[in-house]
């Protein structure tokens, strides 16, 4: 019960903090709309206007990933700047549990991106919003967001130890968009990249959302989203424990 209370309180708190940040509203709403616009024009000019919903979903998911990446990346660093990181580490709950709700809130904020691109596509480009499997879409969306949040938690754990890990956020935005095939099929990529795609929750997430929207088997990729999310969750609790221990041993927790 205590853990649930902690998760709910942390989730609400971080959601409010992100809601007041212009930067995150930009990342979550404006940037995906821009990328969606580029994709719409490219698909339309290339004579593939039928794929605009495909582009909408992909651009929305790009926004979910960017928001998760930058917010999770910045999470530990902001706590460090505000002087609250030590308090969090010294508190009785494990670090993984403490920062889990923050990471989930980051990914949840990213859902604005999906809403923004779908609405933008409908209003400006007339993209139809008919979903082939609306119920499965409603299941796939939160599952994907939670899995991305757990992936963000693994990233956040590296920030406990490495103060320059925020550069990782700049590094990982495009590669994950590419390897996950968010706006194009991963079959365009070299065969050696497939295993990389398979271990990424966004890859399974966009597959589940795309099939729920356009038709196809949703349950397979949806199961994989949950499996991948759970795996990242387990890894994050392990990495938080290891990195926290090392940061304490080296006395580098609060160094900026």
Partner 1 sequence: MSNNARIFFVGGVIAYRALFNWLNPWIFVPTLVVAPIFQVLFFAFLGRSAGLESDRFYVIGNALQIAALPGLFAMTFAISGERWSQTLSPLLASPANRAAVFLGRALPVVANAAFVCVVAFVAGALILRVHIAPGAIPALAVVIAVTSISCTGFGFICGPLGLRWRDAIIAVNLLDAVLLIFCGVNIPIDSLPGWMQAVSEYLPVTHGLRAARRVADGAALGDVSGLILAELAIGLTYAGVGFAWLRHLELVARRGATLENS
Q: Of these, 15, 34, 131, 139, which contacts partner 1 (CB under 8 A)?
A: 34
Q: Of these, 9, 13, 171, 199, which contacts partner 1 (CB under 8 A)?
A: 171
x-or-dash pattern for partner 1, window 173-202, by CB under 8 A?
Answer: xxx-xx----xxx--xx-------------
Place of tokens 């794929």: 51
Q: How far is the CB of 26 from partner 1 (least distance, A)?
A: 5
Q: Which stretch binds partner 1 (CB under 8 A): 43-51, 96-104, 204-212, 240-248?
A: 43-51
CB atoms within 10 A of CB 252: 13
Which residue from 51, 50, 49 is spatially nearest to 183, judged by alpha carbons?
51
Q: Which helix (H) or strand (E) holds 165?
A: none
Q: How far is the CB of 223 from partner 1 (least distance, A)?
A: 26
Q: Of these, 168, 196, 226, 235, which contacts partner 1 (CB under 8 A)?
A: 168
x-or-dash pattern for partner 1, window 84-123, by CB under 8 A?
Answer: ----------------------------------------
Which residue from 247, 241, 201, 237 is spatially nearest to 61, judged by alpha carbons?
201
Looking at the Cβ atoms of 47 and 92, the one nearer to partner 1 is 47
Q: What is the per-residue burial (b if ≥16 Cβ within 10 Å, else e) of 183-216?
A: bbebeeeeeeeeebbeebbbbbbbbbbbbbbbee
Contact flag: residue 42 with partner 1 (CB under 8 A):
yes
Q: Tell how far CA 57 is from the center of its chain.
A: 14
Helix axes 134-161, 201-214, angle to 10 degrees: 160
Measured in Å, how far apart are the chain's first and last C-alpha atoms?
35
Q: Of these, 6, 30, 131, 132, which contacts partner 1 (CB under 8 A)?
A: 30
Query: Helices then strands (H, E): number in the chain?
Result: 11, 0
Q: How far is the CB of 52 from partner 1 (least distance, A)?
A: 11
Contact flag: residue 46 with partner 1 (CB under 8 A):
yes
Q: Tell how far CA 181 is from the center of its chain.
A: 14
Looking at the Cβ atoms of 18 and 98, the one nearer to partner 1 is 18
């Amino acid at each position: 019960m205590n853990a649930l209370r902690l998760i709910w309180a942390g989730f609400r708190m971080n959601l409010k903090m992100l809601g007041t940040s212009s930067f995150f509203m930009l990342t979550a709403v404006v940037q995906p709309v821009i990328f969606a616009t580029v994709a719409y024009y490219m698909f339309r000019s290339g004579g593939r206007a039928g794929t605009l919903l495909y582009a909408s979903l992909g651009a929305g998911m790009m926004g979910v990933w960017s928001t998760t990446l930058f917010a999770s990346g910045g999470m530990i660093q902001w706590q460090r700047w505000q002087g609250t990181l030590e308090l969090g580490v010294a508190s009785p709950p494990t670090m993984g549990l403490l920062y889990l709700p923050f990471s989930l809130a980051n990914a949840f904020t990213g859902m604005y991106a999906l809403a923004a691109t779908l609405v933008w596509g409908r209003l400006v480009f007339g993209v139809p919003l008919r979903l082939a499997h609306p119920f499965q879409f409603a299941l796939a969306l939160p599952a994907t967001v939670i899995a991305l949040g757990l992936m963000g938690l693994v990233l956040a754990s590296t920030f406990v130890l490495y103060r320059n890990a925020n550069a990782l956020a700049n590094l990982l935005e495009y590669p994950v968009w590419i390897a996950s095939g968010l706006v194009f099929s991963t079959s365009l990529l070299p065969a050696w990249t497939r295993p990389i795609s398979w271990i990424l929750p966004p890859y399974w997430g966009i597959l589940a959302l795309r099939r729920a929207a356009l038709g196809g088997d949703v349950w397979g990729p949806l199961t994989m989203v949950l499996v991948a999310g759970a795996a990242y969750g387990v890894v994050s609790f392990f990495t938080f424990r290891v990195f926290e221990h090392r940061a304490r041993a080296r006395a580098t927790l609060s160094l900026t």
